[in-house]
């Protein structure tokens, strides 16, 4: 999106060194990059080695200067510089802002044409800092103080890395950049962390002997997370108890309220009504995952349940629209095939080796399905020309994940055409209704 990108020049102030210098800011939807101006050796092998040594030498460098009878060509003044001799070659030091004003009456003879190995320099903006904006923050205040900086702010990444202090010429420019960065942070956070909160996990079956336990659940980016405790730092997100791909998970509400009480249901969804007294089962939802696994969670209020349902639908739709397609290996009549679900085109089945497409159908042409609960599924499609129903039987290693993925893609497709659509109905025949 063009509105999410921005570039410009700012000043970077380092409080430790008390130095300020120009930087180039490049803002994208996900990253803020700070570039510093540097002189780069573009040719001359020996000079490139010297530049590398200078870059890796540390904070202090000792340079020994020796007298040369003839001035090297790279110290010559550039064409058009002060002095009567306009035939001298261009100086990289002059190009970098260093002027060498020699005496015109005491000049060395012009050197021969530069050799191919003679160093050449260019000034370039080089990436110095790249800050991911997911869950980042901005601040106009001095650290640990309430003193407001004028025309300045800092950006802090989730892992604690920062930009140092960015300074701008005017308050309007500072506000413009602050608003643009904050907007991208908020949009990125809303896209990636759709919802998170506590729920009580109920063990499957009373005979399991396991007690109920509170878990912290999160819908973030492509995954559904289950934690024992909330993630505090960036590293904590990798310590989840369980993580599932969103598009391969099915969300199912057990029993929210009586179906005939539609007015109460609508008011609860809108948050206009307090939830009535309900039994334990009415406040539960299940997360159905591959190979028959499932988790059941209980919340405290009907409004909590409604929020989780809507948030899950939104998170799945965002993820489907992000990945656009998903392929699974399968078999049919002894042949190894590739089954692809594509957000734009629908269903495609092709040979795994030659990639030859065997058949293709749109989402709207899927009229039903049935499966054996193990590995095989029958998909019923309506041929647009003959108007006849065509059956395709496929076998998958993890049939549950494939069926959930089909459901996610169809629900996201319907939601994209009608944003008000609540994906509470099932699209697959026997499996999701069982």
Arithmetic mean of pLDDT, 125-136 = 87
Closest CA to 142 of 133, 130, 134, 150: 150
pLDDT at 315: 92
User: Mean pLDDT, to the nearest integer, of 186-210?
Assistant: 79
Does the pLDDT of residue 249 top 60, yes or no?
A: yes
Share of the chain above pLDDT 70, in %: 69
- In this prediction, residue 198 carries a pLDDT of 94
Strand 19-27 with 325-332, pairing: unpaired
Phi-psi group of 263: left, alpha or beta (phi > 0 → left; psi -120 to 50 → alpha; rest → beta):
alpha
Cα distance between residue 373 and residue 392, in whole Å: 16
pLDDT of 1 reads 45
The CATH number of 1-45+121-170+181-188 is which of 2.30.29.30, 3.30.160.250, 3.40.50.2300, 2.30.40.10? 2.30.29.30
The pair phi, psi for residue 409, each rounded to 5°, is: -70, -40
Number of neighbours of residue 211 by Cβ within 10 angstroms: 8
pLDDT band at 128 (very low <50, low <70, confident <90, very high): confident
pLDDT for 404: 94
Q: Are 370 and 391 in contact (CB under 8 A)?
A: no
Q: Is the pLDDT of residue 408 over 60?
A: yes
Quickly state the pLDDT bin for 222 (edges 50, 70, 90). very high
Which two three-digit tokens encode residue 156?
């802090």
Q: Tell which residue, 24, 2, 27, has the closest CA to residue 11.
A: 24
Structure confidence at residue 403 (pLDDT): 94
- Extents of the domains making up the chain: 1-45+121-170+181-188, 192-257+281-322, 324-427
The mean-pLDDT minimum among 51-60, 225-234, 244-253, 311-320 falls in 51-60
User: Are 302 and 256 in contact, with CB atoms under 8 Å apart?
Assistant: yes
> Which residue bears the tokens 């929020």?
307
More confident residue, 258 or 420: 420
How long, in residues, is the chain?
A: 434
Q: How far apart are the first and last CA of the chain?
A: 42
The whole-model pTM stands at 0.60
- Say how far apart CA 291 and CA 399 lie, in whole Å: 7
- Asked whether residue 306 carries a pLDDT value surpassing 80, the answer given is yes
pLDDT at 384: 87
- Smallest CA-to-CA distance from 369 within 347, 386, 351, 385 is with 347
20 touches 42 (CB < 8 A): no
Q: Cα(196)–Cα(217) distance, rounded to whole angstroms? A: 5
- Distance of alpha carbon 183 from alpha carbon 216, whole angstroms: 27
The 10s digit of each residue's pLDDT in 14-38 is 877 888 889 999 999 999 999 988 7
Q: Is the pLDDT of residue 406 over 90?
A: yes
Per-residue pLDDT at 104: 45
Average pLDDT over residues 293-315: 90
Same fold for the pair 1-45+121-170+181-188 and 192-257+281-322: yes
pLDDT score recorded for residue 210:
72
State yes or no: pLDDT of 77 exceeds 80: no
Does residue 340 have a pLDDT over 90?
A: yes
Average pLDDT, the chain: 77
Mean pLDDT of 270-281: 51
Instruction: Please give the class, per CATH, of domain 192-257+281-322.
Output: mainly beta
Angle between helices 262-269 and 302-323 (to 10 degrees): 70
Q: What is the CATH number of domain 324-427?
A: 2.30.29.30
Nearest to 217 by CA among 270, 282, 285: 285
């Amino acid at each position: 999106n063009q509105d999410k990108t921005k570039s410009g020049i700012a000043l970077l102030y380092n409080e430790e060194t008390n130095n300020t210098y120009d930087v180039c800011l490049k803002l994208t939807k996900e990253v803020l990059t700070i570039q510093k101006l540097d002189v780069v050796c573009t040719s001359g092998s020996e000079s490139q080695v010297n530049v590398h040594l200078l870059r890796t030498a540390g904070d202090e460098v000792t340079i020994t200067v020796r007298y040369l009878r003839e001035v090297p060509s790279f110290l010559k003044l550039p064409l058009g510089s002060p002095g009567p001799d306009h035939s001298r070659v261009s100086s990289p030091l002059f190009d970098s802002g260093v002027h060498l004003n020699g005496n015109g009456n005491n000049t060395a003879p012009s050197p021969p044409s530069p050799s191919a190995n003679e160093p050449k320099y260019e000034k370039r903006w080089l990436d110095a800092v790249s800050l991911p904006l997911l869950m980042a923050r901005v601040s106009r205040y001095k650290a640990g103080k309430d003193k407001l900086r004028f025309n300045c702010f800092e950006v802090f990444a989730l892992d604690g890395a920062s930009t140092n202090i960015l300074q701008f010429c005017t308050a309007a420019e500072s506000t413009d950049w602050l608003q643009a960065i904050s907007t991208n942070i908020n949009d990125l956070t809303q896209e990636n962390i759709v919802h998170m909160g506590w729920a009580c996990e109920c063990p499957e079956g009373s005979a399991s002997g396991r007690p109920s336990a509170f878990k912290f659940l999160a819908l973030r980016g492509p995954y559904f997370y289950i934690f024992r405790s909330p993630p505090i730092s960036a590293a904590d997100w990798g310590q989840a108890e369980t993580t599932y791909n969103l598009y391969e998970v099915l969300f199912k509400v057990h029993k929210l309220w009586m179906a005939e009480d539609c007015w109460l249901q609508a008011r609860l969804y809108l948050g206009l009504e307090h939830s009535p007294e309900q039994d334990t089962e009415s406040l539960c939802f299940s997360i159905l995952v591959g190979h028959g696994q499932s988790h059941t969670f209980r919340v405290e209020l009907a409004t909590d349940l409604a929020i989780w349902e809507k948030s899950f639908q939104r998170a799945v739709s965002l993820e489907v629209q992000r990945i656009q397609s998903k392929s699974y290996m399968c078999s049919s009549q002894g042949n190894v095939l590739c089954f692809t679900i594509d957000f734009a085109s629908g269903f495609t089945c092709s040979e795994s080796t030659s990639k030859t497409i065997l058949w293709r159908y749109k989402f709207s042409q899927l009229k039903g399905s049935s499966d054996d609960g193990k590995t095989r599924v029958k998909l019923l499609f309506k041929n647009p020309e003959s108007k006849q129903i065509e059956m395709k039987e496929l076998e998958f290693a993890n049939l549950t994940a494939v069926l959930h993925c089909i459901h996610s893609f169809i629900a996201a497709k319907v939601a994209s055409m009608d944003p008000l659509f609540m994906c509470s109905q099932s699209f697959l025949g026997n499996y999701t209704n069982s």
